Chain A
Amino acid sequence: MDRAMSATGAASAGSGRESSRRLDATPVAIAASGEVTALGLGRERLEQAVLANAGGLRDCPRLAGKGFQSTVGGYVPDEVWRSLRERDPAHADAPAFLLADAALREARADLRSGGRNGAPPLVSGGLPSAATADFGGGLTDTIPPSRRGLVLSTTKAEITALERAFHRQAVSALAQRHLFPALLAADLAAAHDIAGPVQCVSIACVSGLLAIQQGALLIQEDKADLVFVVGVDLCSDFVLSGFTVLRSLDPEGCRPFDAGRKGLSLGEGAGAVALARRERLALPALTVTGWGSSNDANHLTGPSRDGSGLALAMNRALRKAGVAPRDIDFVHAHGTGTSYNDAMEGMALRAVFGNPAPPYCSSKGLFGHTLGAAGLLETIVCLIAARHQLLPGTPRLECPDPSVPDSLLRTPRRVESLRRILKLNAGFGGVNAALVLEWGGA
């Protein structure tokens, strides 16, 4: 046959997927995390908010009068911005760098303390090397900079630099560089003594989950021993304008899966996780056991109405993890608060799990929709949930939409055993992604 596709193995389509193998490489787990959100800097603030089911959305006075559909969102507190700028004045007009750098610092501190925030301590022998001691614990002496990697997840990086240039305001050379997400990734790696592989993933709101997938692959393919995956995005005028023209913002703040939901609330922040081979960590740890992605092939800015695209990604992740739907204890949904997204997710949950679906929640009411940081920050919420053996609630939920599965979690609930979690995100361009995370030992 003459035409290429007619002659390919795609003629046996589905065979490859059906025979999809379980991850046979060394399992990769989360060794540490760092976060800065509307709730403040550090995991403790996020942890308290998850436990209390208390969101951090607020109105932002500086955005008033600009014609945005809503100015309610997850804005990083002013005092955090002040402290970040005071610590690093060279990057004062490069807020995306400041946030990502702060999350990486937190993750490194978490790693160094070997459990300061409850992360599993690293177990590795040998004497610490002075050159690498900053990475702390017993791990660093065996992981030189060339074996450390970084994967950046972002949708708009330092977009505020383009805004300022457009308005003929001064923009530093550093901020200009970070208009290009890849250069932001390179500079973050340099700032954190990471000399191994560096990648930049930018694929709408699934960027974070696919960045974790890429980070895990770097370790499984033996290209790195320690990989920092960091996600960052800003509440810029640019992005607020975009969602305003789409009429996608809820003027009163998002209410995911609520019958009266009117749209999403944007958030800004950064989340970072450090990935390492699970065998290097003291157990229990949260291990990335499966992943899957898909495209709806339907619409650029709206999800498929039947949820089939997200269901494809979920089934791919379950298959890769080698588990059945009944093995999932909890689903952390995308749950933006838009009418279409939440309805779509409800259908996808029903398609994959039937009735009843596992308990599920959305964290967008905690810190808003943080776009490129969402996958990272929400995976950290899963880490908190696993550590506390607690199913998080859905902040700001008032009256659950009767059309979505009734296992929606309104408030946090302690459970006897939370082992397997399915994490979901979806985004513009019809993209969907899912991760299977497993808490426990070998």
Chain B
Amino acid sequence: MSEFALLAASFIGAEGSGNDRTGLRPWPDSVAGALQRGELEALGWSTLFSSETSRFGRMELLSRLGLMAVELLDAGFEALEPAQRDAVGVCVETCSGCIAADAQFLQTPMAGTFAYTLPSTVLGEICIRHRFRGPVLCLLPVSGRGGWLEAALGWLNRGEADACVCVACDLMDKKFAASITSPHDAPGGGWQSCAILIGRRTGAGREHPLRPESLPRLARSLVIGGGHRLPPKT
């Protein structure tokens, strides 16, 4: 048995959002209606959280999705001391990357948009909000998913981090996705985001076993299979 465990998980997608304690919560009608029309901007910070974040409105949508998924972990990051934050790694995986932001920058070249034309910008936003300064990595999966969790588990195993926030997020216009080569080559359209917190086992509640061999399957079930299968609170 690994000495590390999955400590929290969250999901945000067209079906709704939730975490391992709450399960999936469908979007309220007002938001769901907008999402069906493709207005992802309707997914404001206040849709999910009562606290404020001044940066959110300036962010491109992929960063918004990733940041919201991390917030949905409800993991108590705000109580961490600075030294603890230095030991939290962040690993991001995305198939679509920043192609939506790239298209936006081509339309309107602005400094505030250019900052989001990297797949890893979401990682920077997460680190800025929670002041995480541990190891970082952004992977674009070539075949199969799960590299993000393997990388993060490697940090823990090698003593390079004490805990890791792993985020998988994707955002792509369906028409654009369909226009790119053959369907099995290109990432699919649509949007979703998932966050997982892994760290050392403590024996306390809200832990799920974490075995390296199960990571790809775990990632698939959480990211592609949909957050509606997130386990309930233990």
Q: Which residues of chain B are within 8 angstroms of A217 by Cβ–Cβ distance?
A: 154
Q: Is B79 an interface residue (CB 8 A)?
A: yes
CB within 8 Å for A200 and B140 given contacts A5-B79, A17-B87, A246-B111? yes
Interface contact tally, CB-CB below 8 A = 247
The 8 A CB mask of B69-107 against A (1 = contact, 0 = none) is 000011111011101111110100001110100110111
- Most A Cβ at <10 Å: residue of B73, B133, B139: B133
How far apart are B138's CB and chain A's nearest CB, in angstroms?
4
A309 to B124, CA, bound (A): 13
Do B206 and A2 touch across chains, with their CB atoms under 8 A apart? yes
Which of A10, A245, A293 is in CB contact (< 8 Å) with B137? A293
Which of B7, B99, B139 is in CB contact (< 8 Å) with A4? B7
Do B87 and A202 touch across chains, with their CB atoms under 8 A apart? no
The 8 A CB mask of B129-143 against A (1 = contact, 0 = none) is 011111111111111
Q: Which residues of chain B are within 8 angstroms of A11 by Cβ–Cβ distance?
A: 84
In chain B, positions 149-204 with a C-beta closer than 8 Å to chain A are 151, 154, 156, 158-163, 180-181, 185-187, 197, 199-202, 204
A97 to B154, CA, bound (A): 31
Do A299 and B128 touch across chains, with their CB atoms under 8 A apart? yes
Which of B79, B83, B111 is in CB contact (< 8 Å) with A6? B79
Which of B90, B133, B163 is in CB contact (< 8 Å) with A5? B163
Q: Which residues of chain B are within 8 angstroms of A201 by Cβ–Cβ distance?
A: 137-140
Which of A186, A246, A316 is in CB contact (< 8 Å) with B143? A186
How far apart are A379's CB and chain B's nearest CB, in angstroms?
18
A4 to B187, CA, bound (A): 32
Binds A, one of B28-36, B40-48, B114-122, B223-231: B114-122
How far apart are B175's CB and chain A's nearest CB, in angstroms?
13
Q: Which residues of chain B are within 8 angstroms of A238 by Cβ–Cβ distance?
A: 102, 105-106, 117
Do B76 and A3 touch across chains, with their CB atoms under 8 A apart? yes
Do B75 and A3 touch across chains, with their CB atoms under 8 A apart? yes
- Most B Cβ at <10 Å: residue of A10, A13, A300, A312: A10
Do B133 and A17 touch across chains, with their CB atoms under 8 A apart? no
Q: Is B18 an interface residue (CB 8 A)?
A: no
Do A9 and B199 touch across chains, with their CB atoms under 8 A apart? yes
Q: Is A429 an interface residue (CB 8 A)?
A: yes
How far apart are A235's CB and chain B's nearest CB, in angstroms?
15
CB within 8 Å for A182 and B127 given contacts A8-B163, A8-B199, A17-B87? no
Q: Which residues of chain B are within 8 angstroms of A299 by Cβ–Cβ distance?
A: 128
Q: Is A403 an interface residue (CB 8 A)?
A: no
A3 to B87, CA, bound (A): 18
In chain A, positions 1-58 with a C-beta closer than 8 Å to chain B are 1-17, 19-21
Do B88 and A10 touch across chains, with their CB atoms under 8 A apart? yes
Do A10 and B80 touch across chains, with their CB atoms under 8 A apart? yes
- Most B Cβ at <10 Å: residue of A16, A156, A179, A296: A16
Do A203 and B120 touch across chains, with their CB atoms under 8 A apart? yes
Q: Is B125 an interface residue (CB 8 A)?
A: yes
Q: Is B147 an interface residue (CB 8 A)?
A: yes
The 8 A CB mask of A277-305 against B (1 = contact, 0 = none) is 00000000000000011111111110000
6 A-B Cβ contacts within 8 A? A4-B73, A13-B85, A177-B181, A180-B97, A295-B123, A297-B131
User: Beyond A9-B163, A156-B102, A180-B180: 5 further Cβ-contacts under 8 Å?
Assistant: A9-B201, A13-B83, A159-B102, A186-B143, A203-B119
